[in-house]
A and B are shown apart, each in its own frame.
Chain A
Amino acid sequence: MCLAIPMEVLNIDGQSAEVQVGGTRQTVRLDLISEFPEVGDFVIVHAGFALTRLDREEAVATLKLFEEGLNVELI
């Protein structure tokens, strides 16, 4: 039950957003998120609430570190 999954924001309506992953769509609440998402962002969803926005720049930075440190090609 502590499962939280990244879902893509399709549209936003006040304190709710429609999100999707795989072919599953659902409406989630935005009461708890610090940084309001935009359409196309990925958010971590848990128990019907978006908790936080996934940060693309941080993801790229982490992957770049792997590329340099481990000599693998990723992005």
Chain B
Amino acid sequence: MSLFDNFKDPELCKALLDRIHKELDGELRFMEVCGTHTVSIFRSGVRSLLSDKVVHLSGPGCPVCVTHDSEVAAFLELAGKNAIIATFGDLMRVPGPDKKSLKSAQAEGARVKVVYSPFDALKLAQDNPGDKVVFLGVGFETTAPAIAATVKVAREQGITNFSVLCFHKLVPPALDALVGDPELKVQAFLLPGHVSAIIGVEPYRFLAEKHGLPAVVAGFEPVDILQALHLFVTMRNEGRAEVVNAYTRVVSDAGNPKAVSVMHEVFEPADALWRGIGLIPGSGLTVREEYAAFDAMRVFGMELKEVPAIKGCRCGDVLKGKLSPDGCPLFGKACTPAAPVGPCMVSTEGSCAAYYKYKV
């Protein structure tokens, strides 16, 4: 058994659960903002073991889900141009205007390729020198450095037929926008372990200092999640609110400065649109002028267009923690993983898909 398997240890989980339930006074409403946390909390069984007093809210942590309708429309617009689209598989079935998706565009002849890594997309560009290859850049701070590193390699190697449609988003500005909403009833934040491995702990301090909300950077094993919940309870009982790094085997408080520097060399902060939340200042990334030749928006002369929202879809309210997935009238009826109406039912990390798979 590996040392790291101890973070799945059932006895340890039981001991932590007992502590949480014994020491918890009143209700604890916590929100996670990471698709991997969403899935892990369900799949590990942690959710089913927690008392009703511990309320799990799944926030805007699934990159596919928070991608705005206008951005999905841009993917589809690009698919209609003379280019090879390289994308993470999760985006394939995300519904856009007129119920079209990259998958349906592919069926109609668009050249859409699923890749595991942006580096595979760069290889695709090298293998097809006569074609323009565009990588669809979605994802948070965990993902953006990988795309940036790939763009740097493309420039170093003089590859001119590769570009990125950059719709990356940043977690701390979104949390800031969320906690500013008086309707949001969240008492604690479970912070995303792998985003934090890049940005460190500092960018979250405002949660405790400005808003008095405890927040814990946590890993993805059941012990990690229960440890974070226990820390919330302890902090509350002791009358303090802090930002704590409990995932020290992976996250250093300073994050990964090398990855941050690569990300900022290629991209710069910009305003971005989030599904359900709208425009959040400084919450996205755009390609810097020095790398303009690798920016698909500039290469293809594109602009984001306003498009009608998906009819009846409540993904926006789900992402803000205002509606439980099964509270949506479409859930499990008009909207299922096999025939998704909204993005939260498409991605395996989406709250609705996780609810459907593990709760129904």
Contact = CB atoms under 8 A, between A and B. Distances in A.
Nearest to B347: A1
B226 to A, nearest CB: 10
B36 interface: yes
Interface string B229-263: 00000000000000000101111100011110010
Contacts of A60: 3
Given A47-B143, A74-B9, A74-B12, A32 B249 contact: no
Contacts of A32: 145-146, 149, 256, 258-259, 262
B16 A2 contact: no
Category for how many chain B residues contact A: 35 or more
Counting chain B CB atoms within 10 Å of each CB, the highest count among A4, A54, A60 belongs to: A4
A75 B3 contact: yes
B197 A52 contact: yes
A62 B3 CA distance: 11
Interface stretch (B113-121, B204-212, B302-310, B323-331): B113-121
Interface string A10-47: 00000000000000000001011110000000101011
Counting chain A CB atoms within 10 Å of each CB, the highest count among B152, B246, B250, B251 belongs to: B250
A55 B249 contact: yes
Interface residues of A, number: 33
Contacts of B88: 1, 47
B349 interface: yes
B82 to A, nearest CB: 26
A49 B146 contact: yes
Contact of B194 (A42, A51, A71): A51
Contacts of B252: 52
Given A52-B250, A58-B248, A74 B35 contact: no
Given A44-B194, A49-B149, A62-B249, A2 B119 contact: no
Interface in B140-156: 140, 142-143, 145-146, 149, 152-153
Interface in B64-111: 64, 88-90
B52 interface: no
Contact of B140 (A2, A6, A58, A72): A2
Interface of A: 1-4, 6, 29, 31-34, 42, 44, 46-49, 51-52, 54-56, 58-63, 66, 70-72, 74-75
B47 interface: no
A70 B35 CA distance: 29
B153 A31 contact: yes
Given A32-B145, A48-B146, A72-B11, A2 B259 contact: no
A66 B19 CA distance: 12
A58 B12 CA distance: 17
B321 interface: no
18 contacts: A2-B349, A3-B349, A29-B149, A31-B152, A31-B153, A32-B258, A44-B250, A49-B145, A51-B145, A51-B194, A51-B259, A52-B252, A56-B249, A58-B248, A58-B249, A66-B16, A74-B9, A75-B3
A33 B262 CA distance: 11
A54 B249 contact: yes
B228 to A, nearest CB: 12
A48 B142 contact: no
Counting chain B CB atoms within 10 Å of each CB, the highest count among A3, A58, A60, A70 belongs to: A3
Interface string B1-38: 00110110101100110010000000000000011100
B194 A46 contact: yes
Contact of A72 (B12, B63, B138): B12
A2 B139 contact: yes
Contacts of B116: 47-48
B61 interface: yes
A34 B61 contact: no
A61 B248 CA distance: 9
Contact of B248 (A33, A55, A72, A74): A55
